[in-house]
Structure 1
Amino acid sequence: MPYIHKLYEVDYKNWTIKRKNKTCPRCGSFMAFHKKPVPRWHCGKCNYVEYVKQLF
């Protein structure tokens, strides 16, 4: 996975790692952001979905 470095943020001063993506409120795993057809956050493990409001 060449994009794995985009999923985490590393603080080299305190040597801590922080996730950039949201975590699922149901199961606690990573959620993926999808832009098409409707912007939303989706959990692939338990199929939880949060829709994002679009500001026009």
Structure 2
Amino acid sequence: MPKNKDESQKAIVRTYYIIEGDKIKLKNKKCPRCGSIMAHHMKPVERWACGKCGYTEFIGKGK
């Protein structure tokens, strides 16, 4: 169990990046509006969504 909030956030932040040799690469997309990391959602419709500003990109065919 983490002692403080900072330790728990560090563990989560590591899941957003891939380390390849000397380079660090972001796994997810960055929001074009605010620059935050976007989340990929599959249901009910596949989309990329920013939790900070609300920007959403829908993927695939619409109804």
> TM bucket by the smaller chain?
0.7 to 0.9
Q: May I ask how many residue pairs the two structures share in their alignment?
A: 52
User: What is the TM-score with the length of structure 1 in the denominator?
Assistant: 0.78
User: What is the TM-score with the length of structure 2 in the denominator?
Assistant: 0.70
Aligned to 1:17: 24
Q: Does 1:27 align with 2:31?
A: no
After superposing on structure 2, the runs of 4+ consecutive aligned residues of structure 1 that deviate more than 3 Å are 1-6
Structure 1 distance, partners of 2:42, 2:12, is 17
Structure 2 distance, partners of 1:52, 1:38, is 8
Q: Flag structure 2 segments of 5+ consecutive residues without an equivalent.
A: 1-7
The higher relative CO (CA closer than 8 Å, separation ≥ 6) is in 1
CA RMSD of aligned residues (A): 1.8
Q: CA deviation at 1:16?
A: 1.6
Percent identical across equivalent pairs?
50
Q: Flag structure 1 segments of 5+ consecutive residues without an equivalent.
A: none
